Amino acid sequence: MTQSPTTEAAPVQTGFDSFVTSRGGRLWRAAWYLTGDRHKAEDLVQTALTKAYGRYEALGDDEQFEAYVRTTMYRTYVKWWRRRWNGELPSHDVPEVAVDPTLTPARIDLARALSELPKMQRAVLVLRFYEDRAVAEVAGLLGISEGSVKTHSSRGCANLRRSTHLTEEAS
């Protein structure tokens, strides 16, 4: 009698691993718009997930946990730029960069335009328009007044309108 080879099914991801698999891309894109750099975005998401990991079970569902991670991510970003964090030391060796199919030319142009903005304007615009958050919520996340959020939003939009990276497409 011959035995058929056993096949092991892929393990079913649950909990935190499933969360990271399903929502990691969206978190990374938000971090990429903030930092303008692939590697800093990865560092930012990883740092936020590490800080938030202990709260996963307590929060109970992925929606609440994602909101918690995003809050952690934005606060970490603000803390980094307030400390003038710039990541790794410069190097003459250029690392290989994998092609990400979600990075369309329009997204790349937007990231370039955002990278030219002052960091607070960039953070406000990403939170307000990419994350679709209310003025009061943005103010709370960044630790600034609602009036400052409106000012940074207005100035940031005006700067984006003047950006050479963003052009209106002919209809």
Question: 81-125 pLDDT, tens per residue?
Answer: 777 544 445 555 555 555 556 667 777 888 888 888 888 898 899
Q: What is the CATH number of the domain that holds 76?
A: 1.10.1740
* 46: containing domain: 15-86
Report d(CA 63, CA 42) in Å as an integer. Answer: 21
Q: Is residue 4 part of a domain?
A: no
What's the number of domains the chain is made of?
2
Q: String of b and e for 123-142 (b: at least 16 CB within 10 Å)?
A: bbbbbbeebebebebbbebb
Domain shared by 112 and 77, yes or no: no
The continuous run of DSSP H or E covering 74 comes out as: helix 62-82
Among 28, 57, 86, the domain-final residue is 86
Q: Extract the tokens encoding 18.
A: 């499933």
Nearest to 119 by CA among 42, 52, 38, 37: 37
Same domain flag for 79 and 110? no
Question: What does the mean pLDDT of the chain come to?
Answer: 81
Question: pTM of the entire structure?
Answer: 0.60
